[in-house]
Structure 1
Amino acid sequence: MNAITLDQIKCFSVLSEEGSFTQSARRLYRAKSAVRYAIGQLEEQLGFALLDRSAYRPQLTAQGRQFLKACGPLLEQHQRFLNACQQISTQIETRLAISVSGIYGLTHVYPHIRDLMSRFPQTEIILEREILSGERMLKEGQVELAIFEHLQDDKSLESKKIDEVRLQLVIARQHPFLALPKADQTVDQLLGYPQIVQRSTLPQDDVSKGVHRGALIWRVTDTPSKLEIISNGLGWGRLPEHDIKPLLDAGELIHLSHLQQDDSVDIFLCRRREGSVGKVADHFWNAFSERSIR
């Protein structure tokens, strides 16, 4: 079988939709004879008839319908390829990977993701959740944009502060620490119970933040696990205020405000200084207004 061309398949596909050589030729901006010839050559190469020409309008044969179905994925893939080429030529990325720190609420990010999907529907958006690894993921090229805390003074990155997150020291209401007299509920006493901390999501990193010296440490790699362990009375730790408000309101978690050990961290949106910036990434970057660092 000689090589079947994409042009032949497109001619046949258009004919199946239009139902006549005349309409197909108009849609393809081709002479009717050229469309007839392309499909005739295709039938000759295949070795079976695609069309029944006995009627006024050509009808697909049973084999023609089977062939058309088989062509569907190829035509769809070709269209995706053309769309990708168009995106490349206009600096619109075919994919954009964004990492977001596990302590930052996605409710702040979703509206901007939704806007990207509306403006750039052909761009694949990849959203990564991470803990203490956003900066490294960005530097290693795993993502194009990263939202994270604890930014180092790195000249290779462009950054802007977009928010801050308050971390409250909490414990479950059934935890034995709360059974102590109020005067004995001190930081030193608290250190006798496990502190639940988060470590980097990257397996090669062993980074943790907010660890009390001398505390018994249990490490987890995501905020939901930390919240669940603390809520079940197995330890204590700091959690984002927006994640724990319902549990605080319900009395299931207790804010240890009298210990004055809360913390707050600045949240940054970062990108690499080197390399070209596509329109999708640039649009996401500009969607976040910069806040002054206090």
Structure 2
Amino acid sequence: MDAITLDQFTVFLTIVEEGSFAAAARKLGRAQSAVTYAIQKLEDQTGVALFDRANYRPTLTEEGRALLPRVRRIMDDLAEFRVQAQAVSKGVEAELTLLVETFLRLSMFADPLGRFHAEFPMVQLRIIAVQPQAASQHLADYRADLGLFLQSPHPEPELESRSVTKLDLVAVATPDHPLAQLPPRFPKAAMRDHLQIVVSNPKALSNTQTFAVIGVNQWHVSEMRLRHDLIKQGIGWGSMPRPMVEADLERGTLVELHPAEWGSSNVMPSFRVVAAKLKSGALGPAGTFLFDTLSSTSDG
């Protein structure tokens, strides 16, 4: 038996789209007899009638309607294969791995990620959440191509980092928490007597721990998400990246705490978010575009 060809599928779909054998022949620039022969051959090879020719215009048979989605899928896959093959021939990466610290939310980077997908729709992006103390090591070990980190107080010489945005911390608790009942600019000492939920070993915050860790009684969790959950349950209070709790603050399920001071400052600390890559690691066109696009969003 002769193999079914992609050309036969093209003819089949063109007849469906144009509504007749004659119109399909004009669209394809072929004789109508050639179009008819291609369909007859396809019907012989599949063992089913694809079109009912009893009327003036051919209509799909029940079998033809059943096979139509599969044929479209095959032709769509072929088109995607051609696009990806062209991209690979130009050196475009098939896949990239992006690390994102657990302190950050992907919604902060929706615009550059959307632009990346629009520019390189066939590049697979693997996004991995990592603890701050492990993020740069993943890059150093070539386990990732790019990273989104909180800027380290001691920049690592093997990394090229570019500023992306600023991240503000905000102290929060549930509305019925005792600290939430206090008026603004209450003494910082009042916070010492209430359970504080702390994320352990956040390397990027190592120089500012005196700002954020105040409570005498502390629970330590390994992820920001876990701290968020405990605070929302009213177990304790804690500092959170503002983007992670904006929706809670708008809904009133959490409230912002306003102590008079934080350590030697009267405001909660802010941190720079950077996009980073290994200086020794060469990025292809897609990785370079993503790196540039992430850093072009910097708010200065």
Task: Calculate the TM-score normalised by the size of structure 2.
Answer: 0.68
The 3-state SS of whatever aligns with 1:4 is: coil
Match of 2:291 among 279, 285, 290: 285
Structure 1 position 45, deviation (Å): 1.6
SS of alignment partner, residue 84 of structure 2: helix
Question: Could you say what secondary structure the match of 1:238 adopts?
Answer: strand
Supply the distance in 1 between the matched residues of 2:148 and 2:135 (Cα, whole angstroms).
7
Equivalent residue letter for 1:157: L
Give the match for residue 145 of structure 1. 146
Q: SS at the partner of 2:220?
A: strand
The alpha-carbon distance between structure 1 residues 134 and 27, as it changes in their structure 2 partners (threshold 3 A), is: farther
Q: Are the equivalent residues in 1 in contact too, given 2:195–2:215 (CA < 8 A)?
A: no
Contact 1:49 1:64 in 2 (8 A): yes
Alignment CA distance shift 1:86-1:174 (3 Å) = same
Shift of 1:2: 4.6
Shift of 1:7: 2.3
Q: Distance in 1 between matches of 2:14 and 2:164?
A: 51
Would the aligned equivalents of 2:14 and 2:24 in 1 still touch at CA under 8 Å? yes
The 3 A distance-change label for structure 1 pair 54 and 228 is closer
Question: For residue 159 of structure 1, what is the aligned residue in structure 2?
Answer: 161
Which structure 2 residue ranges, 5 or more long, are not aligned? none
Q: CA RMSD in A?
A: 4.4
Distance 2:297 2:42 in 1: 60
Q: Which residue of 2 aligns with 1:113?
A: 113
Residue 199 of structure 1, CA deviation: 4.9
Cα distance, 1:12–1:150 mapped onto 2, change above 3 Å: same
Equivalent residues in 2 for 1:1-294, closer than 5 Å: 2-53=2-53, 55=55, 57-92=57-92, 96-104=96-104, 106=106, 108-121=108-121, 123=123, 128-132=128-132, 133-139=134-140, 143-151=144-152, 153-167=155-169, 173-174=177-178, 185=189, 190=192, 194-199=195-200, 210=206, 217-230=218-231, 233-241=234-242, 243=244, 247=249, 252-260=255-263, 262-274=268-280, 276-287=282-293, 288-289=295-296
Secondary structure of the residue aligned to 2:82 is helix
Relative to structure 1, is the Cα distance of residues 129 and 230 closer, same or farther in structure 2, using a 3 angstrom cutoff?
A: same
- Residue pair 2:151, 2:204 contacting (<8 A) in 1 also: no
CA distance in 1, matches of 2:157, 2:236: 39
Work out whether residues 179 and 257 of structure 2, in 8 Å CA contact, stay in contact via their aligned partners in 1. no
CA drift at 1:44: 1.9
Q: Deviations over 1:42-80 (max 9, x none)?
A: 222222333344555544333333332442332232232
Cα gap change, 1:55 to 1:291, in 2 (>3 Å) = closer
Cα deviation for residue 118 of structure 1 reads 4.4
| TM-score, length-scaled by structure 1 | 0.69
Tell me, yes or no, if the aligned pair for 1:196 and 1:218 is still in contact at 8 Å.
yes
Q: Percent identity, aligned pairs only? A: 27
Deviations 1:170-217 (A, max 9, x none): 6665159x8xxx889289xx3x765422258xxxxx979556699655
Could you tell me whether the CA contact under 8 Å between 2:172 and 2:255 is conserved in 1? no
State the distance in 2 between where 1:16 and 1:244 align: 52
SS at match of 1:100: strand
Gaps of 5+ in 1: 201-205
Q: Which moved more, 1:4-13 or 1:228-237?
A: 228-237
SS of equivalent residue, structure 2 residue 261:
helix
Q: Take 1:41 and 1:259, find their aligned partners in 2: how far apart are those partners?
A: 80
Alignment check: 8 A CA contact 1:198 1:209 kept: no
Shift of the 60–257 alpha-carbon distance from structure 1 to 2, 3 Å rule, reads same
What's the CA shift for 1:260?
0.9
Contact 1:131 1:199 in 2 (8 A): no
User: For the Cα contact (< 8 Å) 2:2–2:45, is it kept in 1?
Assistant: yes
Secondary structure of 1:109's counterpart equals helix
User: Number of aligned pairs?
Assistant: 280
Aligned to 1:203: none
Query: Residue 261 of structure 2 aligns to which amino acid in structure 1?
Result: H
Alignment check: 8 A CA contact 1:199 1:208 kept: no
**Residues 187 and 260, structure 2, Cα contact 8 Å, conserved in 1:** no
Q: Are the aligned partners of 1:169 and 1:257 in contact in 2 as well (CA < 8 Å)?
A: no
Are the equivalent residues in 2 in contact too, given 1:97–1:125 (CA < 8 A)?
Answer: yes
Q: Residue 141 of structure 1: CA displacement?
A: 5.6
